[in-house]
């Protein structure tokens, strides 16, 4: 069709245009050629020669018009599909191929979105939440504060953040001694027992004592997943007692090293004015006045004590709870370390130990790991003034014997509240 030729009152523009641009039309006046012969009923009558050579039959005109219409539709459809496919690829992450039934060839597509901040540590940022999409899986939100590095190592150093915090308590109470008790989030019973017994002693020999319970997130052991938001019961308990610290790592036995290092970070950040801290397990009996008396003459710097182990053999039996393979720790013995049941450290050490941890393989045995960090610093734990002060094996309660101890493991069946009441009654111990 020549330029300017009309089709049903529209004329095609034949000027140059960019690829992919829909052709434009403009209206023109219908051009009717002057009649070349007699007209009957408004129809031109041509001579036989003109009829044979000029006007095609009706069927030919219809076929020609159909071909032009088909070509036009194909061109328009091609342009539309081109832009549609281009926009689809630019819609990530909104585009969900699973939702629309498109194949993904088995490749995972992940989008990282920010987590909501929790209370406390409000300026420390937030860990990402990963939304993973697979061809046979809908979107799922999973809190992953730590990556599984294998059965013998933990994900540290790493950034962990508190979802329940007490950042001002040390500043307000100005304690001489800070007691830190690692405990599972759902172990309210142990926390209440401790508050009713030795954890309730806020002064001893004229020195202020502060108490905190440290925990991670609820979760399924071995999955690396947990619920980041604290539950209502923990929040209510925190409002009642103001002694809970919860960080966003998965709370499990294998993550005790993470829990210990988070504890040290918190002490360095929020209790710089205290003299000492003691990490003590929740199943222990603690003689707080005896401990404070022992610390009265202790060094104020580079000091760590407890039940100190020397030349402890590395357990290579796979069935052992504390098995460590040669490829992780080649030496047959550990450096000196204080048993994790309860150890004391001067509060200049938390920052130094956190720094040392960046240069030491983070094994899952937390007390051994601190011993390795101490060795990196060129230090060693100090033996206690008396070896009988710390007892790892449970001892039958005796008021006189317990008065000579600092800390001792209890039996699970012991009535610790009754023991404490008897221990604190007036009168001579022995």
Angle at 248 between CA 164 and CA 319, to 5 degrees: 125
- What are the residues facing 128 on neighbouring strands? 114
Confidence band of 128 (pLDDT split at 50, 70, 90): very low
Q: Which residue has the tokens 């899952």?
A: 364
**Mean of the pLDDT values across residues 174-184?**
98
Note the pLDDT tens digit of each residue in 218-240.
875 444 445 566 689 999 999 99
**Mean of the pLDDT values across residues 417-422?**
97
d(CA 249, CA 162): 9
Average per-residue pLDDT in the chain? 77
3-state secondary structure of 7: strand
More confident residue, 371 or 32: 371
| CA 178 to chain centroid | 28
Note the pLDDT tens digit of each residue in 259-273.
999 999 999 999 999
| Torsion angle (degrees, nearest 10) of CA 113, 114, 115, 117 | -170
- Pick the range with the lowest mean pLDDT from 90-104, 139-153, 209-223, 248-262: 90-104
What's the confidence (pLDDT) of residue 47?
Answer: 41
Token pair for residue 121? 């540590």
**Mean of the pLDDT values across residues 274-296?**
98
Confidence band of 52 (pLDDT split at 50, 70, 90): very low
Rg (CA), the chain: 40
CA atoms within 13 A on the CB side of 17: 11
What's the confidence (pLDDT) of residue 296?
Answer: 95
pLDDT at residue 149 tops 90 = no
d(CA 74, CA 419): 91
Instruction: Report the candidate in 243, 301, 300, 305 with the shortest Cα–Cα distance to residue 279.
Output: 305
Query: Looking at the domain 162-386, which fold is it?
Result: Spore Coat Polysaccharide Biosynthesis Protein SpsA; Chain A (3.90.550)
State if pTM tops 0.95.
Answer: no
Tell me how far CA of residue 329 lies from CA of 315, 335, 336, 337, 368, in angstroms: 11, 12, 15, 15, 11
pLDDT at residue 155 tops 90 = yes
H/E segment holding residue 329: none
SS3 content of the chain, % helix, strand, coil (to 5): 30, 20, 50
- Pick the range with the lowest mean pLDDT from 102-111, 193-202, 325-334: 102-111
Note the pLDDT tens digit of each residue in 351-379.
999 999 999 999 999 999 999 999 999 99
Domain ranges in the chain?
Answer: 109-141, 162-386
**Mean of the pLDDT values across residues 295-307?**
97
| DSSP result, 107-169 | --EEEEEEPPPPSSSTTS---EEEEEEBTTB---EEB-SS----SSB---S----EEE--TTH
**Mean of the pLDDT values across residues 25-37?**
41
More confident residue, 332 or 223: 332
What's the confidence (pLDDT) of residue 66?
Answer: 65
């Amino acid at each position: 069709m020549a330029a300017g030729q009309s089709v049903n009152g529209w004329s095609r523009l034949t000027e140059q245009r960019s690829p992919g641009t829909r052709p434009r039309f403009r209206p023109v006046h219908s051009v009717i050629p002057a009649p070349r012969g007699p007209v009957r009923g408004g129809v031109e009558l041509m001579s036989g020669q003109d009829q044979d050579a000029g006007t095609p039959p009706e069927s030919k005109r219809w076929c020609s018009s159909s071909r032009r219409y088909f070509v036009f539709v194909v061109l328009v459809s091609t342009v539309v599909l081109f832009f549609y496919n281009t926009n689809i690829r630019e819609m990530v992450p909104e585009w969900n191929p699973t939702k629309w039934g498109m194949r993904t060839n088995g490749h995972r597509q992940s989008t990282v979105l920010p987590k909501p901040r929790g209370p406390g540590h409000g300026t420390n940022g937030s860990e990402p939440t990963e939304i993973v999409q697979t061809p046979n899986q809908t979107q799922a939100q999973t809190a992953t504060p730590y990556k599984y590095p294998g059965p013998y190592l933990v994900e540290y150093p790493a950034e962990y953040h508190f979802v329940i915090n007490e950042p001002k308590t040390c500043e307000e109470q100005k304690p001489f001694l800070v007691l830190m008790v690692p405990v599972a989030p759902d172990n309210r019973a142990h926390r209440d027992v401790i508050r009713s017994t030795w954890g309730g002693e806020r002064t001893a020999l004229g020195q202020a004592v502060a108490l905190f319970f440290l925990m991670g997130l609820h979760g399924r052991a071995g999955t690396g997943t947990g619920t980041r938001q604290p539950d209502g019961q923990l929040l209510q308990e925190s409002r009642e007692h103001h002694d809970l610290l919860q960080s966003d790592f998965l709370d499990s036995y294998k993550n005790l090293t993470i829990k210990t290092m988070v504890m040290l970070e918190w002490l360095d950040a929020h209790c710089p004015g205290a003299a000492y801290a003691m990490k003590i397990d929740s199943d222990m009996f603690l003689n707080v006045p005896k401990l404070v008396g022992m610390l009265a003459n202790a060094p104020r710097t580079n000091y760590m004590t407890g039940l100190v182990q020397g030349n402890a053999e590395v357990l290579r039996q796979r069935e052992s709870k504390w098995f460590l393979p040669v490829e992780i720790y080649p030496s047959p013995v550990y450096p000196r370390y204080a048993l994790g049941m309860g150890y004391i450290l001067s509060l200049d050490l938390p920052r130094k130990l956190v720094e040392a941890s960046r240069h030491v393989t983070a094994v899952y045995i937390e007390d051994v790991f601190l011993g390795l960090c101490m060795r990196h610093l060129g230090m060693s734990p100090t033996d206690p003034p008396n070896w009988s002060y710390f007892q790892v094996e449970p001892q039958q309660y005796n008021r006189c014997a317990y008065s000579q101890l600092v800390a001792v493991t209890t039996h699970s069946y012991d009535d610790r509240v009754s023991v404490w009441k008897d221990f604190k009654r007036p009168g001579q111990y022995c």
